[in-house]
Amino acid sequence: MTLRLSADTPGIDRAAQLLRQGALVAFPTETVYGLGADATDARAVAGIYAAKGRPSFNPLIAHVPSLQAAEDLVHFDDLARQLARAFWPGPMTLVLPLRDGAPVADIVTAGLPTLAVRVPAAPLALRLLERTGRPVAAPSANPSGRVSPTTADHVEAGLGDRIDAILDGGPCPVGLESTILMPVDGTVRLLRPGGLPVERIEALLGTPISLEAPGDTPTAPGQLASHYAPQGRVRLNVTQPDPDEVLLGFGPINADLNLSPTGDLTEAAAQLFGHLQTLDRMGARRIAVSPIPERGVGRAINDRLRRAAAPR
* Pick 48 or 289: Cβ nearer Mg ion: 48
* Pick 226 or 237: Cβ nearer ligand TXA: 226
112 binds, among Mg ion, ligand TXA, none (CB under 5 to 8 A by kind): ligand TXA
Task: Write down the least CB distance from residue 141 to Mg ion, Å.
Answer: 9
* Pick 89 or 241: Cβ nearer ligand TXA: 89
Binding-site annotation: residue ranges for ATP: 54, 58, 63, 114, 118, 140, 148, 192, 228
* Pick 142 or 302: Cβ nearer Mg ion: 142
Residue with nearest beta carbon to Mg ion: 140
Is the peptide bond between 103 and the residue preceding it cis, with omega within 30 degrees of 0?
no
Task: Write down the least CB distance from residue 128 to ligand TXA, Å.
Answer: 12
Binding-site annotation: residue ranges for L-threonine: 31, 138, 178
219 binds, among ligand TXA, Mg ion, none (CB under 5 to 8 A by kind): ligand TXA
Task: Write down the least CB distance from residue 94 to ligand TXA, Å.
Answer: 10
* Pick 12 or 32: Cβ nearer Mg ion: 32
Task: Write down the least CB distance from residue 173 to ligand TXA, Å.
Answer: 12
Region 115-154 residues binding Mg ion, contact defined as CB under 5 A: 140
The values of phi and psi at residue 126, to 5°, are -65, -45
118 binds, among Mg ion, ligand TXA, none (CB under 5 to 8 A by kind): ligand TXA
Residue 145: how many other CB atoms lie within 10 Å: 9
* Pick 5 or 191: Cβ nearer ligand TXA: 191
In which order are the strands placed within the sheet that holds 233-235? 233-235, 286-289, 246-249, 257-258
Closest Cα partner for 107 from 95, 117, 115? 115
Task: Write down the least CB distance from residue 177 to ligand TXA, Å.
Answer: 4
302 binds, among ligand TXA, Mg ion, none (CB under 5 to 8 A by kind): none
Task: Write down the least CB distance from residue 22 to ligand TXA, Å.
Answer: 19
Q: Which residues bind ligand TXA (CB under 6 A)?
A: 29, 31-32, 34, 58-61, 93, 95, 109, 112, 114-116, 118, 138-140, 177-178, 180, 191-192, 219-220
* Pick 41 or 245: Cβ nearer ligand TXA: 41
Task: Write down the least CB distance from residue 221 to ligand TXA, Å.
Answer: 6
Closest Cα partner for 11 from 144, 172, 176, 125? 125
Q: What is the total residue count of the chain? A: 312
What is the gyration radius of the CA atoms in the chain, in angstroms?
A: 20
Interaction site with Mg ion (CB under 5 A): 140
